[in-house]
Amino acid sequence: MQITVSGLPGSGTTTLSRLLSEYYELELVSSGEIFRRMAKERGMNLGDFGAMAEKDPSIDLDIDKNQKSIIHTQDNLILESRLAGHMAEGVPNVLKIWIKAPLLTRVKRIQRREKTISFDEELAKTVEREKSEALRYKNYYGIDITDLSIYDIVIDSEKWNQYQTLDILRVAIDALVGPE
């Protein structure tokens, strides 16, 4: 089984990937965690590190090359990143999931997770980060991150909590691969 989970910041991709990984006993590879760790190692926040990545394509290209290699060579895993579905292009039988949520909901989640000072500051940072990422994806790969047509499942995480969303995804996954 191979599953990709993608979505914009604060949509719940990491939480749902962890829950799916635990339920199906699959290895989880999270590029967002890698990106955050790289920013922290450099003493930078995500916005500043994203701006640096705009100027230094090797950062994104290395992460993406790693993702592509993993999804093309390993089974029984969940690959979680903004571009995971795209990195799985050409790999048969990969279930591609996109988790979405409205901007304001996502910003509230990020603010709660990051314990940032104000909603308005987090909103501005998130909008800037998403513009930066969208520009890089377009420039590097010709990918329009707003085009969800490659995904098998698109689910709105604002409508259900993480466990309800997990239940919905489990029904869909089990219908494809059979229950444990």
Q: Binding site: what residues are annotated?
A: 7-15
Beta bridge partners of 153: 97
CA torsion angle for 107, 11, 101, 148 (degrees, to 10)? 130
Within a 13 Å sphere around the CA of 118, how many CA atoms are in the beta-carbon half?
3
84 burial type by CB count under 10 A (0-12 exposed, 13-18 middle, 19+ buried): buried
Annotated binding residues for ATP, as ranges?
7-15
Q: Where are the alpha helices (DSSP H) in the chain?
A: 13-24, 31-41, 46-55, 58-73, 84-87, 103-114, 119-141, 162-177
Integer Cα distance of 28 and 176 in angstroms: 20
Contact 74, 24 (CB under 8 A): no
